[in-house]
């Protein structure tokens, strides 16, 4: 097996029931990631 540096390509964005912004990413090798962000929170005050 050959290891490689995963290339995370964003597949889509959504909003969870908790109101979090969900970002789904996938590498062409099949690995997937899910990241969540706080949506609606002020970036700066
Ligand atoms: Zn990969």
Are 19 and 39 contacting, i.e. CB atoms less than 8 angstroms apart? yes
Tell how far the Cα of 34 is from the centroid of ligand 1, in angstroms. Answer: 14
Residue 20 domain flag: yes
Residue 33 domain flag: yes
Domain count, the chain: 1
Q: Which residues contact 3 (CB under 8 A, 6 or more apart)?
A: none
Helix (H, G, I), strand (E, B) or coil at 12: strand
The pLDDT value given to residue 2: 73
Tell how far the Cα of 3 is from the centroid of ligand 1, in angstroms. Answer: 8
Question: pLDDT tens string for the chain (45 positions)?
Answer: 578 999 999 999 999 998 899 999 999 999 999 999 886 666 666
Tell how far the Cα of 38 is from the centroid of ligand 1, in angstroms. Answer: 26
Tell how far the Cα of 6 is from the centroid of ligand 1, in angstroms. Answer: 4
Rounded to an integer, what distance in angstroms lies between the CA atom of residue 10 and that of residue 3? 21
Structural domain for 29, as ranges = 1-38
């Amino acid at each position: 097996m050959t290891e490689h540096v995963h290339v995370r390509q964003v597949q889509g964005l959504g909003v969870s029931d908790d109101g979090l912004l969900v970002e789904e990413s996938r590498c062409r090798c099949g690995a997937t990631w899910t990241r969540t962000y706080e949506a609606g929170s002020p970036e700066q005050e």
